[in-house]
Amino acid sequence: MAKQSAKKKKAPAPKKPAAKADNEVSSYKQNPYIHTPLYDLLHVFERAPDQWAARYILILSAIILRGAVGLGPWSGKGEKPINGDFEAQRHWMEITTHLPINQWYFYDLQYWGLDYPPITAYHSWLCGVIGNVIDSRWFELDASRGIETSAIKTFMRYTSLISELVVLFPAILQLVSLLGGKKLKLGRMHQIVVIAMIIYQPPLILIDHGHFQFNSVMLGFFLYSVSELIKDNLLMASVWFVASILFKQMSLYYSPYIFFYILSKLFTPKPKLAQTIASFDFAKFIAVGATVVASIAAVLIPFFIAAQDAAEVEKMVRQIVLRMFPFERGLFEDKVANFWCVTNVIFKYREHFTPEQLKILSLGLTIVSILPPCLITFWKNITRKTNNPLMLIYGFSATAWGFYLFSFQVHEKTVLVPLIPSTFLLLSTDPNIVGIIQWINNIGSFSLFPLLKKDGLVLQYATLTLLMNWFVGGFSLPSKSLLWPTQSPLIVKFVIIGTYAATLFYHVVEYFFEPPASLPDLWVILNCVISFGSFSFFYLWLIYHLVKL
């Protein structure tokens, strides 16, 4: 037999595989946004050399969105003599630039007296100094009250926009990169899409750039604190968190959770619980406490310097605290989607309880609602060496929702506090979780509708809501849309579909029909009931998932 001449051809060397895209299973997790219009818009930047450009385009487009909303009306426009939040912020720039610091929290308290913490006062002073250089008439003491020229409107809008660009945007980019990239190992395009979803979030844009406030600064400081917690840098996390509270006291909604989280990190998990308890790092505990005290003292130094003696220091500090926590205003003011306002429809609390009793009752229910996420996290941290990085996000979200639902003196705008950490759960690779987070953001926007309508911002509300839902495929087939958690339990599907139907019904009825003369607030109360039910369900959903982690 002749020697075989037909030797098997040597198989060609396999080509080096190209870098896998986000829709391929690789070392990166599955990207649930693959089939969304937002991903279609951004996928042209999928090549590694182009991904840096995507971030700049996102920021530029976010600026354009905020600028467009800012062209509309604002809180209290034309409503003499007291106006609204826009005038309050302008007035604080006026008094901080014309009065000595020891008068800031005492001056004419009946006309938008300063009732935010000292870092807000310093921020107002800085903005006022810049504004006075441009046009001193904007901030003339007393004489400028109620000014509503196009020039002051433009300046004020710029102060809000620049504050957000300087503080919040870098904090979002850092936390998404740290949590999504380093901890969860998500692909770059996945991270970029989530950044877009967060910075395009309608509630924050509508409140800060429509209604007009500076919530972005408080939230930015908070996100920096979360980033430091992820890095186990407890001291810097404490500094950033103190800054957040001393910019806006609403950040206290996060405080029980960060306390329990930091406390749990002072233990080293051991095989036996007694050994774990014995491992408590008392020195680090002292260091964290000293850092908190030093941070607060550093912020108050200008007030200490301005005081004549210790008695005046005590007087100023007491006044700052009283202005920050105005318990005399009652359980709630305007209609808001929390437990007290909704149940007050059938049980008039003020007729059965004194203000002091209501404070105790509110405190009790708030503690009951915030303890579960705090204790669950504490236990997981002291009994496990590693935990899911998203535990922090679930915990902060659940704690803040507990405060929103049950605490004293909640405002509609406070919904931003639990919404921001909740929105970071968009980093999940589970499309059903993404759908639930988009749903709660939609309900958050819906809960603000009565306030936005009062401000004349219905067009902006509708446009941003439609835009965000289009981004996640809201107008696509259900199989390609992230609005419909198709694989979720039946109860979740029922709640989401039911509340979406209820919100659509509400808008139709509210648009075409006036409420009965005997029930002028009927539509507002209906909004609160729908929103409260949704928020309560989401709070329970967060607790359930926190337990499962």
For the CA atoms of 506, 510, 511, 515, the dihedral, rounded to the nearest 10 degrees, stands at 160
DSSP state of 338: S
Residue appearing with tokens 């609602």: 369
What is the rounded distance in angstroms from the CA atom of residue 253 to the CA atom of residue 171? 19
Please report the pLDDT score of residue 22 as a whole number. 45
Contact 237, 223 (CB under 8 A): no
Query: Which residue type is seen at 89?
Result: Q
What is the rounded distance in angstroms from the CA atom of residue 162 to the CA atom of residue 155? 11
Q: Find the length of the chain.
A: 549
Query: Which residue type is seen at 314?
Result: E
What is the rounded distance in angstroms from the CA atom of residue 60 to the CA atom of residue 451? 28
What is the rounded distance in angstroms from the CA atom of residue 517 to the CA atom of residue 448? 23
Q: SS3 for 438-475, per residue?
A: HHHHHHHHHHCHHHHHHHCCHHHHHHHHHHHHHHCCCC
Q: Within 13 A of 238's CA, how many CA atoms are on the CB side?
A: 21
Report residue 489 as tokens: 């339990």
SS3 13: coil
DSSP string, 141-210: TTTTTT---HHHHHHHHHHHHHHIIIIIHHHHHHHIIIIIIIIT---HHHHHHHHHHHHT-HHHHHIIII
Going from N- to C-terminal start, the domains of the chain cover: 37-77+148-548, 78-147
Between the CA of residue 295 and those of 5, 237, 263, 289, 396, what are the distances in Å?
A: 84, 11, 19, 10, 22
With CA atoms as reference, report the closest residue to 33 among 437, 454, 440, 505. 437
What is the rounded distance in angstroms from the CA atom of residue 331 to the CA atom of residue 271? 47
Please report the pLDDT score of residue 53 as a whole number. 86
Q: Within 10 Å of residue 545's Cβ, how many Cβ atoms?
A: 19
Please report the pLDDT score of residue 481 as a whole number. 74
Between the CA of residue 462 and those of 183, 206, 468, what are the distances in Å?
A: 36, 11, 10
SS3 177: helix
Burial 7-21 (b: 16+ CB within 10 A, else e): eeeeeeeeeeeeeee
What is the rounded distance in angstroms from the CA atom of residue 81 to the CA atom of residue 199? 35
What is the rounded distance in angstroms from the CA atom of residue 97 to the CA atom of residue 394? 41
Please report the pLDDT score of residue 403 as a whole number. 96
Contact 542, 398 (CB under 8 A): yes
Helix axes 150-163, 51-70, angle to 10 degrees: 150
Report residue 217 as tokens: 């600064």
With CA atoms as reference, report the closest residue to 348 among 368, 331, 329. 331
Report residue 259 as tokens: 């306390």
The burial class, CB within 10 Å (0-12 / 13-18 / 19+), for 464 is: buried
Please report the pLDDT score of residue 28 as a whole number. 46
Q: SS3 for 487-531, per residue?
A: CCCHHHHHHHHHHHHHHHHHHHHHHHCCCCCCCCCHHHHHHHHHH
What is the rounded distance in angstroms from the CA atom of residue 319 to the CA atom of residue 311? 12
> Which stretches of the chain score pLDDT less than 70?
1-29, 328-330, 332-333, 477-480
The H-assigned helical ranges of 200-281 are 202-206, 215-230, 234-245, 255-264, 273-278
How many helices (H) and strands (E) the chain has is answered by 24, 0
Report residue 355 as tokens: 């203000």
Please report the pLDDT score of residue 243 as a whole number. 98
CB within 8 Å of 206: residues ≥ 6 apart = 69, 445, 448, 452, 457, 460, 461, 464
Please report the pLDDT score of residue 3 as a whole number. 44
What is the rounded distance in angstroms from the CA atom of residue 103 to the CA atom of residue 410? 27
DSSP state of 385: S
Between the CA of residue 214 and those of 9, 31, 220, what are the distances in Å?
A: 71, 33, 10
With CA atoms as reference, report the closest residue to 46 among 253, 185, 191, 256. 191
DSSP state of 99: S
Residue appearing with tokens 């009965």: 516
